[in-house]
Each structure stands twice: as C-alpha cells, then as structure tokens.
Structure 1
Amino acid sequence: MLSRLQYYLPLFGSFHNFLRLLKNSSRLLYLNLDKVIKPNVVFLRECGLGDCDIAQLCIHAPRLLTANPERVWAMVACAEGIGVPRGSGMFREALHAVAFQSKEKIAAKVDYLKNTFRWSDAEASVAVRKYPRLLRKSKESLKRRAGFLFSEVRLEPVYIAYRPEILSYSMEGRLRPRYYVIKFLKQNGLLDRDLSLFYAVKMTEKVFAEKLICPHKEAAPHLAEDYATACKGEVSTNFRFR
C-alpha cells in the first residue's frame, strides 16, 4: 500500500485528489501497477498530457488508468479520429469526450448534431474538434439551445459551428439573460456598437456588469434588476420584446 501511495500522490498532486479518484475507482488499490496503471500513465504522457492533465482527466474518468492498455490506445485513436491530435491543447477534452463510447455511439451523436444544428459534415467536424464536450451533451440540452439560438437570436448554423463553446453556457443563467440585455440596449439606442451574443456570454459577471449594465444606470435604472430576474428564469416586462 505504501508503494502505491508513493506512486499515486506525486501523480495526482494531493491526497485529496487521490481520495476523489479512489472514491470512483477502488481498483486503483489492487490492480497491477506495473502491468496496467504505469503503462497507461506512460502512454498518456507520451500523448502530451502532463501529470496535472492526467489527474484532472482521471478524476472524471478514472477507468482510463485501470482499463486494459490496449483499450486506452483505442480511445486515444478515437480522440484523434474526431480531429484532435495528440499534444494539442484540446486533447484532454477530446479524450474525455470519447472515453468508453463506442464508435457507433459517437457517430450517432454526430448525426444528431448535424440534424439539430443543420450542419454539414465539415461544419460538424469543426464544431466537435473545437468543443469535444458536445459529444457528452444531452440531446435535450442541445435541442433547447438550438431552438433558442435559431428562433430567437437568429444565428446561422455556420456561426455556431465555428463558435461551439456558446453551447456550453447555461440557458437560464447566461445565454437568455444576456441576450435580453443586448436586445434591450439595441432597441433603445443604448448600444453604440454591434455586440455579438458570443462575445457577451464569454464575459465574467463582473465585466458584463461593468460594460453593459452600469454605464446605463441613468437611462435604464431597472436594467440590473431585470437582468437579475432573467437569471432566475423569469422575464420582466422590459424584456418582453415584440
């Protein structure tokens, strides 16, 4: 047991991280270190992942360490198959996205993305490569975001394909409230530039307030309250647009 701790603690960075992994996979305590765990770690390092990356990845998918090495190799090949090469900044995300999913399931999810977002093969490939977590998103959440972005925001499919991170944000807590603020400001002549929703949702709450709410305290004293209300899933009268 001591030898395992001496190996795991530097790898996972802390005893807390080790306990988190152990909670999800007790197999770490008895699987053969030299034949299973260490070969997987060495291979993941060869793929360009640092120990911090491996720890974060395995907290969410601990079986990446405990699976048969041949299976881990196959998952790496699958991650490369969706267009994310080893050593790239997005490789960890891609590996997590495809981990323990069959090729058939991944293909079916890509087909769903193409149908839901009206993407061509090339556009779907771009979106998945830029934001691999799309493969883990529920169909219901994707459908709701597609309906909102197409029907209300009027975005084009290709725009979303090249900015798929927009699909990562909460509908109630980020996308819809910030869209309402932008639309309100535009309709009332308070926005002197063409601000995209994608740019707005990437802002932190502090920056969003500083740039789009605080400057309009006199012209729209209710805006902060209306925005806070929208973030709770409710719509104020000022945000009911025709």
Structure 2
Amino acid sequence: MLRLRSCIAAASLSSPSASHVSPLHRLLSAAANATAPRISPNPSFAVEDYLVRTCGLTRAQALKASTKLSHLKSPSKPDAVLAFLAGLGLSTADVAAVVSKDPKLLCAGVEETLAPVVDGLTGLGLSHSEIARLVSLARQKFRQKSSISKLQYYLHLFRSSENLLRAMKFCDLLSHSLKRVVKPNVAFLRECGLGDYDIAKLCVSRPRMITTRPEHIQAMVACAENIGVPRYSGMFRHALHAVASFNEEEVSTRVDYLKSTFMWTDAEVGIAVSKAPNLLMKSKVMMQRRSEFFISEVGLEPAYIAHRPIMLTYSLEGRVRPRYYAVKFLTENGLLDYACDFYNTVMVSEKVFMKKFICPHKQAAPNLAEDYATACRGEVPARFSFT
C-alpha cells in the first residue's frame, strides 16, 4: 500500500507544472503508473495472498472474497484501483473494509468507470473526503454511473452532503427506485403537510421512511393520526418519527403503558402523546422512574403532567431533580418570597435558572451553587436531603 501511495506522490511531483494539473488527472496518472507492465517471479497470481498482503483483509475475508475474483490473473488492474482509492484518501483500513464487502471493485476500470463517477460526484459539489466516505457506504452501487443522478436527487432532498451521508449509514438509498418508490413517498409526505425541511429532518434519522413500500408509509401516517397528531400540525413530523419503528399493536401497547404508569385517563394520555410523541420511544424503566419522581416525590397531579409532557423528556438526574432540590432548599429556608411553578423551573435554560435561582443567593446560601453542581453530577448533597 505504501508503494501505491508513492505512485500518487510521484504523479503529482513529476512535472514542474504539476500544480496546474487537476486532482482527478493526478488520480488517473497515479492509477496509470500502477498499471505499468511489471515482471513477476511467480507467473501464477495468488488472489487470496494479494488480498491479505496488499488489501489488508484477514485470511478468512480473503478466502471468501477470492471466490469472486478467481478470473484475475494479474495484479495490474487491482493495483490501479487501489492507487485510485488511495488518491481519494481512503486509509488501509477503509480499503480493507470496502474490498471485503465488494471484492469486484478491484476489477473496475479506473478510466472507464471509477474516474467518470468521481468526476460526476465532484460536479455535484462533493469533496474527495466525502466521496471516500461514499465509497464505503455505497459499495457496488458506487461503480454504477446511474448512481450519480440518484445522489443528485438525494443531495437536494437532504439539503447537505453531511445529512445524506448520515442517512446512508442506516439505509442503502441507492438500491431503491426513485420513480417507483422514493419520489411517490416524498410526494405523499408533502401532501400530509410536511415541507422539504421537515422531510429532510425526518429522513436523516429515518431514511427507510422514503424507501419503504408506499402502503407502509401510509399506515405510519394513519398511526400518527390515531395517537392524536393530525396532518399539517407542527408535531406531525415528530409523531411520524416516533411511530416509524413500531407497528400499530406496539404503539397501542406503549400508549397503554404510559396511561397506567402516570395514572392518566384516556383523554389525558391522548393529550400527552399528541404534545410529546417521542414519549412512545422511551423505555419502560425510564418512564417508571419519572412517574415515581414527578408523582410520588414532587407530588404533581397526573393531569398537570399530561398537559406538560415535555418535562418527561428532560434528563432526570442532570436537570429536573437538581433544579427541584435547589428550589425546594430556597423555599424551605425562606429565601423565596413567591411560589414557583414546577414546569417553569424545569423549562428555563440553564443560564436563566442560574441567574434567577442560584446567583441572587450567594450571600444567604454560600454553598448553594456548589450543592447544585454536585446534584447535577448525580449526587445528593446533605443540604438537599429533605425530611
């Protein structure tokens, strides 16, 4: 691999006018140098050994990959491909990962296939480092020129290359038909009131929403409406995000659990879920601990919580509990001359909370700031132990 990387350096430094040569031309030059005729002491080319020594595969990976490369009789074409990939910035580990998943990449023509694809992707605004990441994510689809037009569509949909590459970690977007699947799904989401920004945000974390069967996404929309979030509402994207991983029965089970855990009526659980659909994604253990704190310790009424469910989504240890302890300390020591609404103490930013509840009491309660910081780390100071 070091020899292959040196090809690239040699290609870019061999001429006084090298600084005026395009990056793609330097890649092609490096690959061309790697294909120069060579004399091998062993007339039989051992593919498996090549995969281990040159590509960095394990012996087991090489054995499996070699079955797809049995026709190779010379290292010239693989050498050219490896030089080209190195020029894009792929590390030895990256190359090993790519080749193990797509051994036939080593048989691709550099000038006929790889270079035109890279040229097309560069024309879409992708950098070489982004293209290198794409090689690992797209696998064999990277070698198909038709992928360029698909990526152009996805770049517009996801609004940035970073969003697209993040989505491709979770879903093989290039394997799905734009005409038959993706575009109809996107059009349907727009009909449901989602703008392009909402669709992009939704699909970065749930890319399979636009690659699933159209009837499946229609079922998800119906499920979101059934939990009390209508189309065109501001929470509709969040509701789709919440129900995307579950079927209708699982959603119903999770709604019932929330209802029993927080002692909500049917109307109250409907209000809570419609305002904070991501409650459906929280674990039972997490929700049980919040029920014990909000209802048993703080003494809040279930209806109060149902109308302010966003409180349940904040960190119990790092935010909610420390603030409750600090305000209770101030109240019990007569340092607050007004009643504080629990929701308001939870919702304000950390900067506002410090300014309003901690900093004004430095003289009367010199240890308050330290005790609050300790509570935020998950410990309970002695002064915050109330009987």
Structure 2 length-normalised TM: 0.61
Aligned-partner SS, 1:24? coil
Written as runs of structure 1 = structure 2, the 5 A alignment for 1:89-168 is 89-168=234-313
| Deviation at residue 190 of structure 1 after TM alignment | 1.2
**Any idea what the Cα deviations from partners look like across 1:4-40, whole Å, max 9, x if unmatched?**
12211111111010000011101x1121000000011
Does the CA contact (< 8 Å) of 2:255 and 2:280 recur in 1? Answer: yes
- Structure 1 moving runs of 4+ over 2 Å: none
Matches of 2:160 and 2:176 in 1, distance apart? 20
Q: Which has the larger radius of gyration?
A: 2
Matches of 1:60 and 1:16 in 2, distance apart? 12
2:65 alignment partner in structure 1: none
Matches of 2:334 and 2:253 in 1, distance apart? 45
Aligned-partner SS, 1:207? helix
Matches of 1:201 and 1:21 in 2, distance apart? 33
Unaligned residue ranges in structure 2 (runs of 5+):
1-146
Matches of 1:111 and 1:179 in 2, distance apart? 28
* Higher mean C-alpha deviation, range 47-56 or range 116-125: 47-56
Matches of 1:93 and 1:231 in 2, distance apart? 28
2:142 alignment partner in structure 1: none
Does the CA contact (< 8 Å) of 1:114 and 1:120 recur in 2? Answer: yes
Matches of 1:157 and 1:57 in 2, distance apart? 31
Higher relative contact order (CA 8 A, sep 6+): 1
Aligned-partner SS, 2:201? helix
**Any idea what the Cα deviations from partners look like across 1:172-227, whole Å, max 9, x if unmatched?**
10111000011001001111221122111111111110011011111111111101
Amino acid at match of 2:163: N
Matches of 1:222 and 1:238 in 2, distance apart? 9
Change (3 A) 1:89 1:192: same
- 1:54 partnered with 2:54: no
Matches of 2:328 and 2:287 in 1, distance apart? 23
2:314 alignment partner in structure 1: 169
Matches of 1:226 and 1:66 in 2, distance apart? 51
Does the CA contact (< 8 Å) of 2:193 and 2:231 recur in 1? Answer: yes
2:170 alignment partner in structure 1: 24
- 1:37 partnered with 2:182: yes
2:38 alignment partner in structure 1: none
Q: Which of 161, 169, 182 is equivalent to 1:15?
A: 161
2:222 alignment partner in structure 1: 77
Matches of 2:378 and 2:181 in 1, distance apart? 48
1:3 alignment partner in structure 2: 149
Written as runs of structure 1 = structure 2, the 5 A alignment for 1:57-68 is 57-68=202-213
Q: Percent identity?
A: 60
1:214 alignment partner in structure 2: 359
Give the alignment's Cα RMSD to 1 decimal.
Answer: 0.9
Amino acid at match of 1:24: F
Does the CA contact (< 8 Å) of 1:75 and 1:100 recur in 2? Answer: no
| Deviation at residue 129 of structure 1 after TM alignment | 0.7
Amino acid at match of 2:150: R
2:343 alignment partner in structure 1: 198
Amino acid at match of 1:159: Y
Amino acid at match of 1:77: A
Does the CA contact (< 8 Å) of 2:158 and 2:204 recur in 1? Answer: no
